[in-house]
Amino acid sequence: MASPPAAVNALRPRGTYAIIGPGGGVDVLRAVTHGSPSVTGIEINPIIANRIMRERYADFAYHLYERPEVHINVADGRSFIRNSGTSYDVIQMTLVDTWASTAAGAFALSENSLYTAEAFREYFEHLQPDGMIAITRWEFRRPREALRVVSQAMDALQRLGTTDLERHFVVISQGELDEDGINVAVLAKKTAFTEAELKTVQQYAAEHAPLQLLYSPSQAPANAYTDLIRSNNPVAFSRNYPFNVSPVNDDRPFFFFTLKTSDIFDSLSDSGAMDWKVNLGVAVLGMLLVISVAAVLGFLLLPMVFGASRAGQHSSLLYFVAIGLGYILVEVSFIQRFVLFLGHPTYALTVVVFLMLLSSGAGSFASRKWVSETGRVWLPLVIVAFTLLVYAVLLPPLLNSLVGAGFGLKLLTSGVLLVPLGFAMGMPFPAGLRALCDRGSPSGSNEVEWAWAMNAAASVLGSVLAIVLAMEYGLTATLVCGAGAYLLAALLRPRAPRLTSAL
């Protein structure tokens, strides 16, 4: 049975292919069957590439991944393409995603950088002069995912110098968009489609029912795809469209989040929509934020305010809120930022959390000697804030320039970037506790216990707030907010004549 992704094989039967996320090999099989002399598969999951396709089910798959014209690489798709010195006739992705963590609100791990505007530009840059990308997404009665693919490709082509986009796209679906879950393939060509190529696509669709052309330069029915492409401005189109289909970038890589903020909770009533899991994830995230804020206010801030009996106690305890909030905002921002750099969400989570916790622990220990006086508490706070502001500007281009480096060099770079910063970030908390102990507390005030509680609560609240900020304003803005939290902590720092002993 023909399907939308196979349309590209009719256009480039003997072309060279790079297939991101080949999985069980359907796209690979199509390319080989149509006569491709070289098919490069980039599979991020080694279990699929090796244990399943080359070992356990190799006979069932007729040893597809062991054919001489098939070259399977276990790597992140975008990192591989960027590091590749090869130009391809087709770069293809078919339904590469997972909603497993999105449904739980875990946006920091569910999104990847395969669908950002920067990624699309890199795909086009690694095509032959007449090459094309072929990306297939699930689509809905009210289009948004494949529509956003078109938006991403439009933005990339415009940044590469293309002005008239109408002849650079073909959109083909499995049939009428009368239900959710229809496969829609977007073919975006580096140069304009020729008349011969358009006739080939039309003939292919006509011969393989129920395939249907949703857009072609020579056959453009009235629908959202035609309106978007002819608008020549995806951002302006998205403003007036029911869903957010404007291009996303590496700073805000939330491709699957197409809901407009004002429509989030209204969308939950449409439980029949295929992307209800994404909508549910957003709702869970929002509820977590509300619950976290309510819990912090009800169980910590209000009791602290009404129970405090000493001038200056409020600001001293809010100091611990600020450093807890700043730490988690920075950590979550780095996790997402390092996903593309290290090539896998698991690597990013492991490396960032391990290095930051280890170096912060060392910084906490060193603070006993290095920040032994109250007058020095401001120093690590200002150093952290200044470093974060520098990172906000320099970190994205630096990491992007090293995406194609070896994994060992990436780990070394991660250590150089994170360990000194984490070391400084570990100092403010124990230094603040020593300040509280040194100045003495009135009987029953329990300032140290309050400090621990406020810091922990801020960390929980900040983990949710970081993703909300990243979705709305981007990772860079989230990192800047972390810097602001450390500067606020410098103003709220506990003051004592001298910090002489550790807890």
pLDDT tens-digit readout, 235-277: 999 999 999 999 999 998 888 888 776 665 555 455 445 455 5
Read off the tokens for 471: 């979705």
How far apart CA 89 and CA 190 sit, in angstroms, is 10
What is the pLDDT, as a whole number, of residue 112? 64
Q: 172 with 119: CB under 8 angstroms?
A: no
**Residue whose C-alpha is closest to residue 502's, from 311, 372, 324:** 372
Read off the tokens for 5: 């992704």
Work out whether strand 169-173 and strand 182-189 pair parallel, antiparallel, or are unpaired: antiparallel
What is the pLDDT, as a whole number, of residue 104? 42
Domains, the chain, ordered by start:
308-492 (1.20.1250.20)
Name the average pLDDT for the chain. Answer: 86
Residue 86 binned pLDDT confidence (cut-offs 50, 70, 90): very high
Give me the DSSP letters along 79-101.
HHHHH----EEEEEEES----TT
In this prediction, residues 59-82 reach a mean pLDDT of: 93
As a whole-number percent, the residues of the chain with pLDDT over 70 amount to 85
Cβ atoms within 10 Å, residue 190: 19
How far apart CA 397 and CA 372 sit, in angstroms, is 37
For the chain, give the longest Cα–Cα distance: 87
What does the angle CA 461 – CA 386 – CA 450 come to, to the nearest 5 degrees?
35
pLDDT tens-digit readout, 184-201: 999 999 999 999 999 999
What is the pLDDT, as a whole number, of residue 445? 57
In this prediction, residues 202-215 reach a mean pLDDT of: 93
Helices (H), 182-275: 195-207, 224-231, 234-239, 264-267
Least confident span in 168-182, 196-210, 339-353: 339-353
Residue 464 in this model has a pLDDT that exceeds 70: yes
How far apart CA 351 and CA 332 sit, in angstroms, is 12
Question: In a 3-state reduction of DSSP, which class is residue 299?
Answer: helix
Residue 311 in this model has a pLDDT that exceeds 50: no
18: left (phi over 0), alpha (psi -120 to 50) or beta: beta
Read off the tokens for 389: 């502001």
pTM reported for the whole predicted model? 0.84
pLDDT tens-digit readout, 353-379: 999 999 999 999 998 888 777 667 888
pLDDT tens-digit readout, 2-55: 799 999 999 999 999 999 999 999 999 999 999 999 999 999 889 999 999 999
272 exposed, middle or buried (CB, 10 Å; 0-12, 13-18, 19+)? exposed
What is the pLDDT, as a whole number, of residue 57? 94
Work out whether strand 182-189 and strand 127-139 pair parallel, antiparallel, or are unpaired: antiparallel
In this prediction, residues 55-64 reach a mean pLDDT of: 94
* 343 vs 349 pLDDT, higher one: 349
